[in-house]
Structures are given as C-alpha cells and as structure tokens.
Amino acid sequence: MVKVWGLSYWGFSSYPADSEAFKRDFDAIWHAIAPNCERNWKSYLTDKQAAIDNAIQSKPLAKWRNTWCDVMSAYSHINAKRDVFVTLNTRDFQRNSERLAELGMGKIRDPRTLVNELTSSLKF
C-alpha cells in the first residue's frame, strides 16, 4: 500500500511512482465505493479536534477511516494487477463491482464463495 502518515505501516508500504496518477486513481475508486462520504477527513472534525496530532485516529473519523481502508485496499489490488479481491465486506465492494471493474478491479469474492468456486473447478 501507499505510505500515509498515521494510517499505514512504514515497513509495509511504499511511495507511488506517479503521485498525480495515484491521486486521480484513488479519487476515482473513492467515488465508486463511497460517493457520499466526504473525501477530506478534516471536514468531520471541529477546528479544535483538527488541531490535535492524532485526530485521524479519533472516533468521529471511524467511518472515514473505514472508507479510506477500503479504497486503499482496492487501489493496492488494482495497482498490483491481482486477479481476485477477497473480502468479507461484500456490501461496499460487490455492490459497486461494475464501477470498480471499469477501474481495473477483477473478481470480488467473499472467502466462502471463492473456496466453493475453486473446489468445484478441481477434478478429483
């Protein structure tokens, strides 16, 4: 995933090769997954809360953080050109699968469905 202060683990992330392409793609995925969730996290906080260093970890930002994690997961999956995105979050991903497919996301499956598909295709 992409390095973001306060949200990602430095040892398990990297900087995007093209920051403008990253911003464009991230915004497109955000719009596909959560068009009604404000993209700017500071809009969820009061001015006093926004001044606190760890505000991004605060309770008022729980929904925003969840959306950010979903979008970052989708971006990382698409950017790595993976085949199947496995998630229990079928509400946000499978509901928006057509729009996400247009952005480069392949199949979206929950773990059980994927296991069933894989085992049914095996010949014993």
**Within a domain: 14:** no
User: At 83, is the pLDDT very low, low, confident or very high (cuts 50, 70, 90)?
Assistant: very high
Percent of the chain with pLDDT over 70: 89
For 46-82, what is each residue's pLDDT tens digit?
Answer: 666 655 556 667 777 788 888 988 999 999 999 999 9
For 10-53, what is each residue's pLDDT tens digit?
Answer: 787 888 888 899 999 999 999 999 998 888 877 777 666 655 55
**Within a domain: 33:** yes
- 94 vs 60, higher pLDDT: 94
DSSP code per residue over the chain: -B--TTTS-GGG-B--S-HHHHHHHHHHHHHHH-TTS-S-GGGGS-HHHHTSTTGGGSGGGHHHHHHHHHHHHHHHHHHTT-SEEE-S-HHHHTTTHHHHHHTT--EEE-HHHHHHHHHHH---
**Within a domain: 86:** yes
**Within a domain: 44:** yes
What pTM did the predictor assign?
A: 0.81
Segment 95-100 shows an average pLDDT of 90
**Within a domain: 108:** yes
| Count of domains forming the chain | 1
**Within a domain: 60:** yes
**Within a domain: 2:** no
Domain span holding position 52: 19-121
Radius of gyration, CA atoms only, the chain = 17
**Within a domain: 63:** yes
